[in-house]
Chain A
Amino acid sequence: MTRLDRALKEALRREAEAADYRPPSGAELARALGPGRAAAFRAVPSASARKAASLAAGFLALYASGFAAGLALSIWLKAPDAAALIGRSLPAKPGEGLYRFIVELRPGWPGGAGRRGASAPPLE
């Protein structure tokens, strides 16, 4: 590069330096990243948020697995009271869905349970 070329480069550099600058907006960033990548970016905004999300997911998994294990154990042990306790904690009313299956029908338990439609003894 000759001295003239270097001088031209410097003049052009100064001209570009004089141009106004602004950082990219959030909308421009989202468009550049595209729908999929923008969604991923929004879902993981920071390391602390990632950590918090991971902790919450772990807690939920632990809670769900504990609930499932307790339910399975109570059915396996044919423990009506434990099943009833779990059944009452379900978001359902007597005669509906899981509550009916777990608490009212109690398949295989004494007292009329063990066949579909059989009524269970009243709960304490």
Chain B
Amino acid sequence: MEEEVIVDARALREDALSGGERAARAFGRLWSVYYRRLSAYAASFRGLPRGEREDAVAEALVSAFSRLESYDPGRPLSSWVYAIAHNRFADEARRARRLSPVEVEAAAGPREGEGPPDGAHAEAIVSRLSDAELEAACAAAIAELPELDRRVAALSFLEGLDSAEVGRVLGMAPGTVRWRIHRIRARVAGRVGGRP
């Protein structure tokens, strides 16, 4: 996977708009960098059948590329691509009438009386783990994450977007995003530290 490749968003946009072979190569770059990432992201839309994910990812990338003219190179390319993909996946899932109830509470934050998870406690627990143990705990915790937290995790930890950008993609307040990030960390710590 080429997830470490830094896409020069400004050059990508210029190449896309120039047409011809330059545009074709630019499309190949966008595709190779984002295809697998978006496939993994699509998996967090449980209403989207596995057999339809591939087409949804392809459609999202075609759509993103053909709309590059409207992309502002001053903003992160990832959040822009993910926002298009997110809408596409949600539409496809909705069309299949298998939209998960989690979509309804997309912007939901902490419930009344529910305080922020203790980040320092999580860090203290994971500091006692070896790299292998921590990796296994993270993989297991991610597999068990609710759909929305899984999307937050992908955008935040994998793509490195800040809470405002994650919020733009998912349609939620930055504070809610931060709270969910803390909750994800606490889940991992809970798996290995005996605290749910």
Q: When A and B form their complex, what is the total count of cross-chain residue pairs whose Cβ atoms lie within 8 Å?
A: 114
8 Å CB contacts to A: which residues of B23-43?
23-24, 27-28, 31-32, 35-37, 39-40, 43
| A–B complex contacts, Cβ < 8 Å, 30 sampled | A3-B123, A4-B134, A4-B138, A4-B188, A7-B134, A8-B142, A8-B157, A8-B184, A10-B135, A11-B142, A15-B40, A16-B39, A17-B1, A17-B36, A18-B40, A19-B39, A20-B39, A20-B54, A23-B28, A23-B32, A29-B27, A32-B61, A32-B65, A33-B23, A33-B27, A40-B19, A40-B20, A41-B19, A41-B23, A44-B21
CB nearest to B134 among chain A residues: A7
Are the C-beta atoms of A3 and B126 separated by less than 8 Å? Answer: yes
- Check A3/B138 contact, CB under 8 A, given A31-B66, A37-B19, A44-B20: no
**CB pair B28 A24 closer than 8 Å:** yes
Complex-state Cα separation, A2 to B189, whole angstroms: 13
Task: For B1, list chain A residues within 8 Å (CB).
Answer: 13, 16-17, 21
> Does B122 sit within 8 A of A, measured CB to CB?
yes
Cα–Cα distance between A2 and B157 once the two chains are bound (Å) = 11
Complex interface residues of chain A between 14 and 53 (CB less than 8 A to chain B): 14-25, 28-29, 31-34, 36-37, 40-41, 44
> Chain B: interface secondary structure?
helix
B-contacting residues of A (Cβ < 8 Å)? 2-5, 7-25, 28-29, 31-34, 36-37, 40-41, 44
Question: Which B residue's beta carbon lies closest to that of A37?
Answer: B19
In the complex, which residues of chain B have a beta carbon less than 8 angstroms from the beta carbon of A31? Answer: 62, 66
